[in-house]
Amino acid sequence: MSDKKNQTPGSVEEPRGVSRRSFLGTGAVTGAVLAGATALGAGTFTRESWAAAAKEAKSKVHVGPGELDEYYGFWSGGHQGEVRVLGVPSMRELMRIPVFNVDSATGWGLTNESKRILGDSAKYQNGDCHHPHISMTDGKYDGKYLFINDKANSRVARIRLDIMKCDKILTVPNVQAIHGLRLQKVPYTKYVFANAEFVIPHPNDGHTFDLQDKNSFTMFNAIDAEKMEMAFQVIVDGNLDNSDADYTGKYAASTCYNSEKAYDLGGMMRNERDWVVVFNIPRIEAAIKAGKFINLDGSKVPVVDGRKTDGKDSEFTRYIPVPKNPHGLNTSSDGKYFIANGKLSPTVSMIAIDRLDDLFADRFKDPREVIVAEPELGLGPLHTTFDGRGNAYTTLFIDSQVVKWNMDEAIRAYKGEKVNYIKQKLDVQYQPGHNHASLTETSEADGKWLVVLCKFSKDRFLPTGPLHPENDQLIDISGEEMKLVHDGPAFAEPHDCILARRDQIKTQKIWSRNDPFFAGTVELAKKDGINLETDNKVIRDGNKVRVYMTSMAPAYGLTEFTVKQGNEVTVTITNIDQIEDVSHGFVMTNHGASMEISPQQTSSITFTADKAGLHWYYCSWFCHALHMEMVGRMLVEKA
Ligand code: K7E
Ligand code: CUA
Ligand code: CA
């Protein structure tokens, strides 16, 4: 199936694009040059080679009717704001989990339960998800939570994987644009590490545009994963892009592409090297415990300063220079390396994690002594993933390729040995960002599947007007050779995804009646003296009317109720069906009210009855042969 020219076996030299690379090597790359190079990427396939590949691929990814996938995949919904659940290798979409968006089907963003979770940030109806990550114990997925960032409104959300609903959202204070997000792997996910990307003035009260001022900075953020509260913040030099944590629990590292603290393209590309900043978590914890921290701009979060002073390192951080505007930061699944992806440099930098103790003990003259290899891979390396067999897979955005390379051999080559560490280059369609191999973020990386999230699909799908889908490709990496087996169109735009074995995720089939997700609503019902499983009642409380009812296929417990025009109406419904898969819905026509009520769930929604008249409500989830008949009427009497 594979195209010979894709394989570049063993060649360290990139066969094409040498002139483009030297372009990128100069300090004077402009946005226009970069955009031009992008447009040149790949385009070296034929329809025939696709057809042949497609034939062989079919058997690999075929999950027959009634069969189950081997892996759960959790996909970022990008600036659409949700998380999507896919089965891998079929790439079938199983579920969507609304998080930073408003969802008409489930009522996320509309129901009282979701508004309680969204808190103050419910005022925003957009989000921008990039990095979904599953909580870990001893460097393995524990299946408890999935965390995801919102770059647009500086938030971090947690999803409970047993019910696949978002249960906590936190707005990170005093920063802008939470981008890189990773979890502590060992001994367990105590912290969610979240990078704020943009440098801002402090206090950010409108007094200045100046980014060079010493009070202009951004911060690395640690969130207590269980409480979903801020644990600490670390002021850094430059900005912060992506991050990852190690397998000792001691270190986290982040890339910085804007060491210049510039605000324009030319400025941000001025330095030949930016850096990776490494955080010493035990030292930060010790300082905070000893009360050696500050508070910032009216927040109570402990803040420590991880910037250099007069060129001298702080006790909390070390800055390792790497070439040029690095992007992804990935910990190898063997726990040995932090790998920073060069983006504007054709290289990745391998940082030996076992040298970091010495780095923090100031035993090196040059912090770059922790770098054990800097293999040249191709143009625009963005992210790297691992197969657990010593190989790494790096996306090349500009070349539109994934390159498979061997880590030990790259280290030997760096020492001067003549070794060809590049194993294969595979064209992908087109311009890949993240890639993710099965279980790659854990010590159990199993080297079976590789998902490559391409930013452009161009001609790969039926045309859909000016806006094209992205293309999430599935690659079989179980053998010596990478094989592309599936194209999956995706909407705007999944930066990243994560794959877990299906036995690592354990879900509930119906709700537990005392689930905290709707405990607040149960509490309010108790105050009204309501037994949610049996009562169908209307409580009038001044201008507020609270309507309680049950639902059991195919009927609501209340088929009519009366309110006065202008009343604020809260409808609380408890689905007393105990049968798996019998979800009901509630829609009040012409009132913008819609919600899901799954078996044993209690859901509530509040709206204003502003129009006198008769208004039908109906069940929106097809639950029974008489589903269409599952209706009721609200009479709104003239004020
Ligand atoms: Cu798009 Cu991880 Cu936000 Cu790279 S990030 S592609
Ligand atoms: Cu209940 Cu349809
Ligand atoms: Ca830079």
Evaluate if residue 44 carries a pLDDT over 60: no
Distance CA 164, CA 145 (A): 9
Evaluate: CB of 582 within 6 angstroms of ligand 2: no
Check if 129 has its Cβ closer than 6 Å to any atom of ligand 1.
Answer: no
Distance, in Å, from the CA atom of 466 to the CA atom of 462, rounded to the nearest integer, reads 12
Read off the tokens for 181. Answer: 């997000």
Whether 460 is in the pocket of ligand 2, judged by its Cβ within 6 Å, is: no
Give Cα 47 to chain centroid, integer Å: 34
Distance CA 376, CA 265 (A): 24
Q: Is 121 helix (H, G, I), strand (E, B) or coil?
A: helix
Predicted local confidence at residue 626, as pLDDT: 97
Instruction: Give the separation between CA 174 and CA 156, rounded to whole angstroms.
Output: 14
Q: Which two tokens stand for residue 319?
A: 């800055």
Q: What is the mean pLDDT of the chain?
A: 93
DSSP element (H, E) containing 523: helix 519-527
SS3 assignment, position 488: strand
User: 380 alpha carbon to ligand 3 midpoint, in Å?
Assistant: 14
CA–centroid distance, residue 112 to ligand 2 (Å): 21
Q: According to the annotation, is 229 in a ligand binding site?
A: no
Task: Dump pLDDT digits (tens) for 66-112.
Answer: 999 999 999 999 999 999 999 999 999 999 999 999 999 999 999 99
CB 393 within 8 A of CB 402: yes
- In the structure, what pLDDT confidence band is assigned to residue 5 with cuts at 50, 70 and 90? very low
Q: Which residues of 546-559 are buried (b: 16+ CB within 10 A; e: fewer)?
A: bbbbbbbbbbbbbe
Q: What does the DSSP 8-state code read for residue 421? A: -
Q: pLDDT (tens digit, 9 = 90+) per residue, 528-565? A: 999 999 999 999 999 999 999 999 999 999 999 999 99
The Cα 428–Cα 327 span in angstroms is 19
Residue 512 region by backbone torsions, left for phi larger than 0, else alpha for psi between -120 and 50, else beta: beta
Ligand 2 nearest-atom number relative to CA 622: 2
Tell me which DSSP letter residue 203 carries: S
627 lines ligand 2 (CB under 6 A): yes
Which residue has a Cα nearest atom 3 of ligand 1? 130
Cα–Cα distance for residue pair 254/246, rounded to 1 Å: 12
| Unique residue bearing structure tokens 């570049």 | 8
Q: Are 253 and 329 in contact (CB under 8 A)?
A: yes
Say yes or no to pLDDT of 41 above 60. no
Give the distance (Å) from ligand 3 centre to CA of residue 507: 44
* Beta-bridge partner residues of 572: 548, 604
pLDDT, tens only, 331-343: 999 999 999 999 9
Residues 27/33/39/45 CA torsion (nearest 10 deg): -50
Return the closest-CA partner of residue 163 out of 505, 621, 596, 498. 505
